[in-house]
Amino acid sequence: MRVVLADDHPVVRDGLRTLLASMSGVELVGEAATGRAAVREAVLRKPDVVVMDLRMPDLDGIEATREVLRAVPTAAVLVLTMYDDDDSVFAAMRAGARGYLLKGAAQEEIAAAITAVAGGQAIFGPGVASRVLGYFSAPPRTDAPFPQLTTREREVLDLLAAGLPNARISARLGLAGKTVANHISNIFAKLQVAGRAEAIAAARREGLGSG
């Protein structure tokens, strides 16, 4: 099993490197400290698994996951991060990640997850799994417009409908520009609109953008 590690913290990579060395039949074929380096290593090494952090310089793990799987569709991405908020979890899933673990997971759990995603399984840490199941089992909300959107996506759409450009939405919500762009892309897909103008028109019909 060929593995690429992508994390901007050397201590984390050191620990994962030691873990992989203890696993039989596993070869560490590349390491990356940035999102773009992760994509480059995946393209060059053609790994079976990419262990991906979410917060990295120059390209976040969500977009890096999307680009890795576009370039190497046979790879499996296992997200290993300290972030367990809904936006991060579901953005990773939409990008194509096959697993999502928090960095507090035991080494045995991480090793098992690497093996599982390489074999085609979907793996989520206990806390993450319960929230994923809860999300899909909960009845859709009918008291808010666009129940298919996450709370954060609805906030972004509201500001979009108010006429704010991406940079001001980023500042207002305290989000990175790339994260805002990802939310907007997801909104377009979920609302089945062709672009910004259609999304704004749909949002204003539902009363958004007036705040």
CB 53 within 8 A of CB 6: yes
Instruction: Output the pLDDT for position 109.
Output: 95
Instruction: Output the pLDDT for position 103.
Output: 92
Q: What domain range includes position 199?
A: 151-205
User: Do 61 and 159 fall within a single domain?
Assistant: no
> Residue 93: exposed, middle, or buried by beta-carbon count in 10 A (0-12, 13-18, 19+)?
buried
User: Do 60 and 155 fall within a single domain?
Assistant: no
Q: What is the number of residues in the chain? A: 211
Q: What is the CATH number of the domain that holds 15?
A: 3.40.50.2300
Query: How far is it, in rounded angstroms, from Cα 120 to Cα 49?
Result: 10
User: Do 20 and 122 fall within a single domain?
Assistant: yes
Instruction: Output the pLDDT for position 139.
Output: 55
Would residue 129 count as lying in a domain?
yes
User: Do 129 and 161 fall within a single domain?
Assistant: no
User: Do 104 and 199 fall within a single domain?
Assistant: no
Instruction: Output the pLDDT for position 89.
Output: 86
Instruction: Output the pLDDT for position 183.
Output: 95
Instruction: Output the pLDDT for position 125.
Output: 84
pLDDT by residue, tens only, the chain of 211 residues: 999 999 999 999 999 999 999 999 999 999 999 999 999 999 999 999 999 999 998 999 999 999 999 999 999 999 999 988 777 888 898 899 999 999 989 999 999 999 999 999 999 887 777 666 666 665 555 566 888 999 899 999 999 999 999 999 999 898 999 999 999 999 999 999 999 999 999 999 988 987 5
pTM of the entire structure?
0.66
Instruction: Give the strands of the sheet with 49-52, arranged side by side.
Output: 27-32, 2-6, 49-52, 76-81, 99-102, 123-124
- Number of structural domains in the chain: 2
CB 60 within 8 A of CB 54: yes
Instruction: Output the pLDDT for position 90.
Output: 84
Instruction: Output the pLDDT for position 138.
Output: 55
Would residue 167 count as lying in a domain?
yes
Would residue 49 count as lying in a domain?
yes
Q: Which of 62, 7, 1 is nearest to 34 (CA)?
A: 7
